[in-house]
Chains A and B, each alone.
Chain A
Amino acid sequence: MGSAVEQNVRAITVADRLRAQGISRRGFLKFCASTASLMALSPAMVPAIARALENARRPSVIWLSFQECTGCTESLTRSHSPSVESLILEQVSLDYHHTLQAASGEAAELARETAMQENQGKYLLVVDGSIPVKDGGVYSTIAGITNVDMLNEVAAGAAAIIAVGSCAAFGGIGHARPNPTGAMPVSEIVTDKPIVNVSGCPPIPTVITGVLAHFLTFNKLPDLDDLGRPLAFFGQSIHDRCYRRPFYDKGLFAESFDDEGARKGWCLYRLGCKGPATYNACATTKWNQGTSFPIEAGHPCLGCSEPDFWDMGSFYRALSIPTEDTTRTLVYGVGTGAVLGAAAAAVARSRKSKAKAAHYKVSVNDLEEST
């Protein structure tokens, strides 16, 4: 890659590619409309999106996979049938992605360096996986380069960074206690570039394409929440959009996975659902081409798009349950209180006995009138 041929290919617009793939104009506009709606943009923006996408040149994308499980890539590529979203992904010039690329070894690294040089300051950097920094970052290296060095090097020339998945966004499982590798999210290492966190374990593919569409349309990143996530997708909690919400409000809960409540589709809060504290679009965009999402399949939300969700106590204990053993604290507390209380009581009783021993006997002599 990186030749004159590649330059020609890049001159072809997204719209051209879509037509070549057999996507009709009508289908394309429908995609633009649904993207606008997902991104919470006004319907008036649809023509602008369409125009932008039609004329967009393929941006160079460098995808770095660090301490990760490849689940994020799986999520994006494992569609059962080709979708418009997946096609959008194909429209970018994925210049480096060590799972998907054919090249390996030095050729692969050369591709990365070439893409960086040719698109200095303009390419998009996508990162999945956390970055181990402990002991000089030795716990994960690619071609002898530690993840942290590679991230710093590639991020320096990027226009923006998309941290895909909860590991890149928040540290994910690598960052979970006791975090043996000193895993960090991208945002703690790179502080001088615009970063979008597309969290989730894995993240929803539509959200990634939505962010890309937004970048292609407006040449800037979408509005973000306080955790750096695109507000359009992370603005509402699973709980607030959950189809089981009416059961929560009525106080109808499944108490176990095979009771009547579970069969009737009642709320899974008591089975540990973290929906109330989880911001993501699962309940609206759903998974597997809109088939369902975990709660629909009868499983409580794990809260995978939230920071440190691994450390928030059991997946199967309600959100309101403290993460540590309160019963033990209670028992030890009663014991300690009993010991201290007995000591305090002994002091008080001896004080009272002493006072009684020192009793001042009131006599008529004490009744002298004061005047």
Chain B
Amino acid sequence: MSSSEDRAVNAFREQIDGPIASYLSSCVHCGLCAHACLFFTETEDPRYTPINKVEPLRRVWKSEYTFFGKLASMLGVAKKVTDDLLEEWEPLIYDACTLCGRCSMVCPVGNDISYMIRKTREGMVAAGYAPDGLKGATQRAVTIGSPMGVKFPALQVQIHNVERETGLTVPVDVHGADYMALLSSMEIMNFPEYIGALAKIFDKAGVSWTLCSEAFEATNSGMQIGSSDLEGELLQRVVDGAESLGVKYVISPECGHAYYALRWEGPNVLGKKYPFQVIHILELLDQLRLKGKLKVEDKVDEKLTFHDPCQIVRKGGVVEEPRSLLSLVASDFVEMEDAGVMNWCCGAGGGVSANERAQPLKLAAFKRKKSQLEALGAGTMVTACANCRINMEEGLEENNMQIEVIGLTETLADHLA
């Protein structure tokens, strides 16, 4: 395949399916999706209207998958996908979309726009049109094993620290354990307390678990950049690790897109079902709570709220679990406006956090979360995604807001009976 245009067009051809054809046939240009997208609401730039972001994909659908579009392309009046178009659209597709899926919830004709943007990225990356930051992260993930360049020795250091602090053993490469826990490199580097929290909770609850030295990284830059090939390559490592240890479950960490990639896209990208089950850490914790194996000795007294990570809640279906867990550990839990499946994105998902070019836009988009928080007046915000957490800490600092951001799993571990 020669030109970048051809590679993009061919990838779009591969991706277009019945749902996409029905979505693109249905759009009436009502513009309502714009008001569901924080990149539009915080900038009022109409180019950020979600449906506009799929234009390259739409052109291929129109000219190649519709009878009348084919007639138009035979007559030479169809709009073509060109390098200029791809270049122009690259920032719209990568910088101004976190794949949060909020637009998919409001479209009156039912278009799953974030699904289409995800598919559009397949063609963009095939043609080489992806942001440098995300390219670098993906390259590191594939070649080194982690987008942040974290290797197992670095993890070993953190494990050692955790074991020293907690006096517990963090099991590594234990064959026949029930659960294999994955981590995100942000947790390894920035929030190692997550590892300690797992050790404490699982110890109390008697959960048989392990880490895997060959497959500890859960994040998947391949999915964010939109390449099923690279996404599959990264996922295969997890599958191989889990198979080699013979675990029954793989635990997705508090990381949104890692869960979505592993839980929902993985088997489809790899073309086969897993020999194990994928469970999000919050799902597992809530199961333990229901079994009475998760008890707290005291509660957080100050007013706290919960930020819904898009990929876990709206797009992942883990909606009630964090709420049940929070009512276990917090006495003054308040919901922010639009909480739950309609909550607003932190502004940095979908690869935006790895994309330096998108920094100003990301900070602009954070204004949405800022106003949600200001309306609430809570001093603490709990979340369940390391990427959301880092981004919100950065955003709060930028806006001089004194709100503490904490992870749900650590909060539970801290108050364990």
Direct contact of A and B (CB under 8 A): yes
Size category, B interface: 20 to 34
**Is A351 touching B126 in the complex (CB atoms < 8 A)?**
no
B70: chain A residues at CB < 8 Å are 344, 347
Interface residues of A in 330-371 (CB under 8 A from B): 340-341, 344, 347-348, 351-352, 354-356, 358-364, 366-371
0/1 interface trace, chain B 101-129, chain A, CB 8 Å (1 if under): 00000000000000000000000011010
Among listed B138-146, B187-195, B395-403, interface-contacting one: B138-146
With contact pairs A344-B67, A359-B10, A360-B7 given, residues A367 and B138 touching in the complex (Cβ less than 8 Å): yes
A356: chain B residues at CB < 8 Å are 14
A361: chain B residues at CB < 8 Å are 229
Contact of A340 among B7, B67, B135 (CB under 8 A): B67
**Is B1 touching A368 in the complex (CB atoms < 8 A)?**
no
B230 within 8 A of A: yes
Contact of A362 among B67, B125, B143 (CB under 8 A): B125
**Is B229 touching A362 in the complex (CB atoms < 8 A)?**
yes
With contact pairs A348-B65, A366-B128, A371-B132 given, residues A360 and B139 touching in the complex (Cβ less than 8 Å): no
**Is B10 touching A367 in the complex (CB atoms < 8 A)?**
no
B64 within 8 A of A: yes
Closest to A356 in B: B14
Contact of B64 among A348, A358, A359, A368 (CB under 8 A): A348
With contact pairs A352-B13, A369-B132, A369-B135 given, residues A363 and B64 touching in the complex (Cβ less than 8 Å): no
Rounded to whole angstroms, the CA-CA distance of A369 and B229 in the bound complex is 19
**Is B125 touching A366 in the complex (CB atoms < 8 A)?**
yes
Cβ distance B373 to chain A, nearest Cβ, rounded Å: 35
B227 within 8 A of A: yes
**Is A351 touching B132 in the complex (CB atoms < 8 A)?**
no
Interface-central residue, A352, A361, A366, A370, by most chain B CB under 10 Å:
A366
**Is B126 touching A355 in the complex (CB atoms < 8 A)?**
no
A362: chain B residues at CB < 8 Å are 125-126, 227, 229-230
Cβ distance A368 to chain B, nearest Cβ, rounded Å: 7
B281: chain A residues at CB < 8 Å are none
B10: chain A residues at CB < 8 Å are 355, 358-360
Size category, A interface: 20 to 34
B136 within 8 A of A: yes
A348: chain B residues at CB < 8 Å are 64-65
B11: chain A residues at CB < 8 Å are 355, 359-360
Interface residues of B in 62-113 (CB under 8 A from A): 64-67, 70
Rounded to whole angstroms, the CA-CA distance of A354 and B64 in the bound complex is 13
**Is A352 touching B132 in the complex (CB atoms < 8 A)?**
no
B207 within 8 A of A: no
B16 within 8 A of A: yes
**Is A363 touching B16 in the complex (CB atoms < 8 A)?**
no
Rounded to whole angstroms, the CA-CA distance of A351 and B73 in the bound complex is 15
Contact of B126 among A360, A369, A371 (CB under 8 A): A360
Cβ distance B110 to chain A, nearest Cβ, rounded Å: 22
Interface-central residue, B10, B125, B138, by most chain A CB under 10 Å:
B10
B130: chain A residues at CB < 8 Å are 367
Contact of B1 among A340, A341, A360, A369 (CB under 8 A): A360
**Is A352 touching B14 in the complex (CB atoms < 8 A)?**
yes
**Is B13 touching A366 in the complex (CB atoms < 8 A)?**
no
**Is A355 touching B14 in the complex (CB atoms < 8 A)?**
yes
**Is A355 touching B13 in the complex (CB atoms < 8 A)?**
yes
B65: chain A residues at CB < 8 Å are 348, 351
0/1 interface trace, chain B 192-224, chain A, CB 8 Å (1 if under): 000000000000000000000000000000000
With contact pairs A344-B67, A360-B126, A361-B229 given, residues A367 and B136 touching in the complex (Cβ less than 8 Å): yes
Cβ distance A355 to chain B, nearest Cβ, rounded Å: 4
A341: chain B residues at CB < 8 Å are 67
**Is A367 touching B135 in the complex (CB atoms < 8 A)?**
yes
Closest to B12 in A: A355
Rounded to whole angstroms, the CA-CA distance of A278 and B225 in the bound complex is 69
0/1 interface trace, chain A 304-342, chain B, CB 8 Å (1 if under): 000000000000000000000000000000000000110
B67: chain A residues at CB < 8 Å are 340-341, 344
**Is A359 touching B14 in the complex (CB atoms < 8 A)?**
yes
**Is B143 touching A364 in the complex (CB atoms < 8 A)?**
yes
Rounded to whole angstroms, the CA-CA distance of A369 and B129 in the bound complex is 10
**Is B14 touching A363 in the complex (CB atoms < 8 A)?**
no
**Is A369 touching B14 in the complex (CB atoms < 8 A)?**
no
Cβ distance A273 to chain B, nearest Cβ, rounded Å: 39
Rounded to whole angstroms, the CA-CA distance of A363 and B128 in the bound complex is 11
Closest to B221 in A: A367
Rounded to whole angstroms, the CA-CA distance of A351 and B67 in the bound complex is 13
Rounded to whole angstroms, the CA-CA distance of A341 and B66 in the bound complex is 10
With contact pairs A344-B67, A356-B14, A358-B10 given, residues A364 and B142 touching in the complex (Cβ less than 8 Å): yes
Rounded to whole angstroms, the CA-CA distance of A356 and B15 in the bound complex is 9
B142: chain A residues at CB < 8 Å are 364
Cβ distance B350 to chain A, nearest Cβ, rounded Å: 17
**Is A367 touching B139 in the complex (CB atoms < 8 A)?**
yes
Closest to B90 in A: A370
Interface residues of A in 221-269 (CB under 8 A from B): none
Which B residues are within 8 Å of any A CB, using their own CB?
1, 7, 10-11, 13-14, 16, 64-67, 70, 125-126, 128, 130, 132, 135-136, 138-139, 142-143, 225, 227, 229-230
Known: A351-B13, A360-B10, A370-B128. 4 other contacts (CB 8 A): A355-B11, A360-B126, A362-B125, A363-B230
Sample 21 A-B pairs with CB under 8 A, ordered by A number.
A348-B64, A351-B13, A351-B64, A351-B65, A352-B14, A354-B13, A355-B10, A355-B11, A355-B14, A358-B1, A360-B7, A360-B10, A360-B11, A362-B125, A362-B230, A364-B139, A364-B142, A364-B230, A367-B135, A368-B128, A370-B128
Nearest 9 pairs between A and B by C-beta?
A355-B13, A367-B135, A362-B227, A369-B132, A344-B67, A362-B229, A367-B139, A355-B14, A360-B7
